[in-house]
């Protein structure tokens, strides 16, 4: 029996569709309600906050997990990233007031010391370091767009899907950080010891992606 950790919230229904297309049982999972552990056929599903999902696989509680590449990069957990499912697509961006735009196109000294509000402090640190700038990171847990409006930060680093929330708060995209999509990952132990159960799922996923393309 495989244990699979899934993120609650925005991408759960996409994850459920994906699992169904891989031939895994999802009837009980779709009716989980407030249950966080669901036994559905030969699968044991664990529902967790997106940011916590990689940890369940890292520590071996879950064999597999579906997790956003943003969360995966932020958690830096030691996992085997099996495949990009191509679902749950969005982008990680740096956003802020239009007035800041020109500073992102010049010398790195122009963005040195910026105050960046984010729920991805590790990604933010690494992204700005790769640009040669050391910034001040303000870790928040939600409503990130509020920070520059109230002068808590100069800009934000966050995911954006349609851009509506940014626009509603008078913010524009200043810099692209990375595309984001839902990834299928495995614990290091399961990728070695349960490969015979995992490999067929990867083959099905490949076939689905080829059909889509």
Partner 1 sequence: MFHSSMNRLPRGCRTVGGAKARAMERCRRTFMSRFASFGYDPFLPSGLQLIQSAWERLPEDLKDRTVCLTSPFGEPCCLRADLTLAAVAYLGAHHAPQERPLRLCYAERVYRTSPPPESDLESTQIGAELLGWDGEGADGEVLFLLLDFLQSLAIDATVVLGDTNLLKRAFQGVSADRAQSLTAALQQGNLADYAALVRGLPSPAADLAELPFLRGGPEVLRRGAELFGNEALATLRGLADTLKDLGMGDRIRFDLSLVRELDYYSGPLFDVYGGPSGRALGGGGRYDSLLADFGILGQALGFGLDLERVALAADEGEDRPERALAWAANLPPSEALAKALAYAERGLDLELSWLTSGEESLHLARLKGFSLWVDLRLGVFLDTGTGERTVPTGGER
Q: Which of 16, 26, 118, 190 binds partner 1 (CB under 8 A)?
A: 190
In the beta sheet, which residues pair with residue 80?
186
Q: Is 118 an interacting residue with respect to partner 1 (CB under 8 A)?
A: no
Residues 74-103 that bind partner 1 (CB under 8 A): 75-84
Q: Is 196 an interacting residue with respect to partner 1 (CB under 8 A)?
A: yes
Choices 38-46, 124-132, 169-177, 181-189 (CB under 8 A): range interacting with partner 1: 181-189
Q: Which of 129, 149, 193, 207 binds partner 1 (CB under 8 A)?
A: 193
Q: Under a CB-based contact definition with an 8 Å cutoff, are residues 88 and 181 in contact?
A: yes
User: What is the residue-wise DSSP string for 101-154?
Assistant: GGGGSS-GGGTTT-EEEES-HHHHHHHHHHTT---EEEE-SS-TTHHHHTTS-S
Q: Is 208 an interacting residue with respect to partner 1 (CB under 8 A)?
A: no
Q: CA 2, CA 122: separation in Å to the nearest integer?
A: 30
CA angle 10, 89, 29 (to 5 degrees): 40
Q: Which is nearer to partner 1, 196 or 212 (CB)?
A: 196
Q: Which of 13, 59, 98, 102 binds partner 1 (CB under 8 A)?
A: 59
SS3 (DSSP) at 95: strand
Q: Is 61 an interacting residue with respect to partner 1 (CB under 8 A)?
A: yes
Choices 32-40, 58-66, 139-147, 159-167 (CB under 8 A): range interacting with partner 1: 58-66
CB of 154 to partner 1, least distance (A): 26
């Amino acid at each position: 029996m495989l244990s699979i950790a899934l993120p609650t919230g925005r991408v759960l229904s996409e994850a459920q569709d994906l699992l169904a297309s891989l031939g895994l049982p999802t009837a009980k999972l779709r009716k989980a309600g407030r249950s966080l552990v669901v036994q559905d056929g030969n699968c044991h599903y664990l529902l967790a906050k997106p940011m916590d999902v990689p940890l369940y696989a890292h520590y071996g509680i879950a064999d597999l997990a579906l997790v956003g590449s943003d969360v995966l990069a932020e958690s830096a957990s030691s996992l085997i990233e099996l495949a990009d499912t191509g679902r749950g697509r969005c982008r990680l961006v740096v956003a802020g007031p239009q007035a800041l735009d020109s500073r992102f196109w010049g010398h790195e000294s122009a963005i040195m010391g910026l105050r960046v509000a984010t729920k991805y402090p590790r990604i933010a640190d690494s992204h700005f370091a790769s640009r040669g700038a050391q910034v001040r990171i303000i870790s928040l847990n939600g409503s990130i767009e509020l920070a520059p409006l109230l002068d808590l930060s100069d800009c934000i680093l966050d995911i954006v899907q349609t851009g509506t929330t940014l626009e509603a708060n008078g913010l524009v995209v200043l810099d692209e950080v990375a595309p984001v999509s839902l990834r299928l990952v495995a614990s290091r132990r399961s990728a070695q010891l349960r490969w015979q159960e995992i490999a067929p799922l990867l083959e099905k996923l490949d076939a689905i992606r080829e059909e889509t393309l």
